[in-house]
């Protein structure tokens, strides 16, 4: 089963709900960045929630999430858009700790418990939304719950989990966001709070093979749920040799001459997907010539 997310409403549209299976997305990030177990969970939870937040956008809109704690992983940066495309990196991928007192990957220790979570939404036509909140726990899900309550003023329940195999590959990853709109009844809110407090961890449900639809059914009961859309989710980075070449061209001829004569070529690595690019002196001189032609 490939990764996808489900958008739904419940209780006559007064509750918005999203659930995602993101195992392959997190595994792709692990392979690209060589993340160790605790770092995989930190990056994976952030990417999972970012994928859902991307799906809340429309058209060409996109967002960038930065989780900057004081822990050993350093900043985590994730881009997501309305098309289910997600890319991300963690500054130090080689972080792995013993399980915490609850028997879970100790994400708070890896991320840190002080710092900031920021969300920048690029809504086209030079319209940007920026929200920033302090990190409240470093467990990621709780930090996003706090972000939604404080910065967007939408009471939300956020869950995200990653299970890692002994060989560090990703066993299961997934998440959900449930948001209460104005007009939601007290009964609906009570029922939801009760279900969210009692369901098994989301990563356990994904490992058991539960689909995003099944997870929403567990949360709401089939009668209350109205599924609106299904969106495939993939790791996608738009970087390319053309983009790197354009960036180098923009540095100007003198700089390119230096790269040719002093460095004997140019190397570039994309932070987001860890793709390596190499430009030979020949490649570089072509960039120079095309600037002279302009
Ligand atoms: Zn890239």
Instruction: Specify whether 265 is located in the same domain as 149.
Output: no
Q: Which of 235, 253, 277 is the last residue of a domain?
A: 235
Which protein residues have a CB closer than 5 Å to ligand 1 (ion)? 237, 239, 270, 272-273, 275
- Taking the centre of ligand 1 as the mean of its atom positions, its distance from the CA of residue 40, in whole angstroms, is 18
Number of structural domains found in the chain = 2
Say whether pLDDT at 289 is over 70. no
- Helices 241-249 and 281-293 pack at an angle, to 10 degrees, of 60
Q: Which of 218, 235, 252 is the last residue of a domain?
A: 235
Instruction: Specify whether 150 is located in the same domain as 286.
Output: no
- Taking the centre of ligand 1 as the mean of its atom positions, its distance from the CA of residue 55, in whole angstroms, is 21
Instruction: Specify whether 144 is located in the same domain as 281.
Output: no
Q: What is the mean pLDDT of residues 256-277?
A: 93
Q: Are 268 and 281 in contact (CB under 8 A)?
A: no
Instruction: Specify whether 190 is located in the same domain as 79.
Output: yes
Say whether pLDDT at 291 is over 50. no
What phi and psi values does residue 126 have, to the nearest 5 degrees?
Answer: 60, 20
Instruction: Specify whether 137 is located in the same domain as 202.
Output: yes
Range of the domain at 101: 4-235
Q: What is the mean pLDDT of the chain?
A: 94
- Taking the centre of ligand 1 as the mean of its atom positions, its distance from the CA of residue 273, in whole angstroms, is 4
The rounded distance, in Å, linking the Cα atoms of 256 and 268 is: 14
Residue 257 exposure: Cα atoms within 13 Å on the Cβ side: 4
pLDDT at 290: 54
Question: Shortest CA distance to 211 belongs to which of 30, 13, 54, 22?
Answer: 22
Would you place residue 103 in the very low, low, confident or very high pLDDT band (cuts 50, 70, 90)?
Answer: confident
SS3 (DSSP) at 113 = coil
- Taking the centre of ligand 1 as the mean of its atom positions, its distance from the CA of residue 78, in whole angstroms, is 12
- Taking the centre of ligand 1 as the mean of its atom positions, its distance from the CA of residue 293, in whole angstroms, is 29
Lowest mean pLDDT among 51-60, 70-79, 97-106: 97-106
Q: Each residue of 112-133: pLDDT tens digit?
A: 999 999 999 998 877 788 999 9
Q: Are 57 and 121 in contact (CB under 8 A)?
A: yes
Instruction: Specify whether 59 is located in the same domain as 201.
Output: yes
The rounded distance, in Å, linking the Cα atoms of 54 and 66 is: 14
Reported for 147-155, long-range contacts at CB under 8 A and 24+ positions apart, including other chains, are: 147/117, 147/119, 148/177, 148/179, 151/119, 154/179, 154/180, 154/181, 155/179, 155/180
pLDDT at 127: 77
Q: Each residue of 181-198: pLDDT tens digit?
A: 999 999 889 988 999 999
Q: What is the mean pLDDT of residues 125-150?
A: 93
Percent with pLDDT over 70 in the chain: 98
Instruction: Specify whether 174 is located in the same domain as 198.
Output: yes
Instruction: Specify whether 11 is located in the same domain as 148.
Output: yes
Q: What is the mean pLDDT of residues 237-252?
A: 92
Q: Each residue of 61-95: pLDDT tens digit?
A: 999 999 999 999 999 999 999 999 999 999 999 99
Full-model pTM:
0.93
- Taking the centre of ligand 1 as the mean of its atom positions, its distance from the CA of residue 241, in whole angstroms, is 10
CATH number for 59: 3.55.30.10
Q: Which of 235, 268, 284 is the last residue of a domain?
A: 235
Q: Are 136 and 143 in contact (CB under 8 A)?
A: yes
pLDDT at 293: 53
């Amino acid at each position: 089963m490939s990764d996808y997310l489900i958008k739904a409403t419940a209780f006559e549209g007064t509750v918005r709900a999203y659930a995602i299976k993101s195992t392959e997305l997190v595994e792709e990030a692990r392979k690209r960045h060589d993340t160790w177990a605790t770092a995989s969970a930190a990056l994976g939870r952030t990417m999972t929630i970012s994928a859902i937040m991307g799906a809340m956008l429309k058209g060409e809109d996109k967002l960038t999430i930065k989780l900057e704690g004081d822990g050993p992983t350093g900043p985590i940066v994730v881009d997501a858009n309305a098309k289910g495309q997600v890319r991300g990196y963690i500054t130090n991928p080689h972080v792995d700790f013993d399980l915490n007192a609850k028997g879970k990957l100790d994400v708070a220790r890896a991320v840190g418990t002080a710092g900031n979570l920021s969300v920048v939404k690029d809504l086209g036509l030079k319209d940007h939304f920026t929200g920033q909140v302090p990190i409240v726990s470093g467990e990621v899900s709780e930090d996003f719950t706090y972000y939604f309550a404080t910065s967007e003023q939408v009471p939300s329940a956020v869950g995200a989990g990653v299970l890692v195999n002994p060989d560090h590959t990703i066993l299961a990853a997934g998440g959900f966001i449930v948001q209460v709109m104005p007009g939601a009844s007290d009964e609906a809110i009570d029922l939801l709070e009760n279900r969210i407090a009692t369901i098994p961890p989301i990563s356990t449900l994904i490992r058991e093979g539960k689909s995003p639809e099944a997870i929403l059914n567990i949360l709401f009961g089939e009668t209350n749920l109205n599924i609106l859309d299904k969106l495939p989710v993939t790791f996608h980075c738009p970087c390319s040799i053309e983009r790197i070449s354009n960036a180098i061209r923009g540095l100007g001829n003198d700089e390119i001459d230096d790269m040719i004569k002093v460095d004997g070529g140019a190397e570039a690595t994309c932070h987001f997907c860890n793709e390596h690019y190499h430009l030979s002196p020949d490649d570089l001189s072509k960039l120079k010539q095309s600037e002279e032609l302009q």
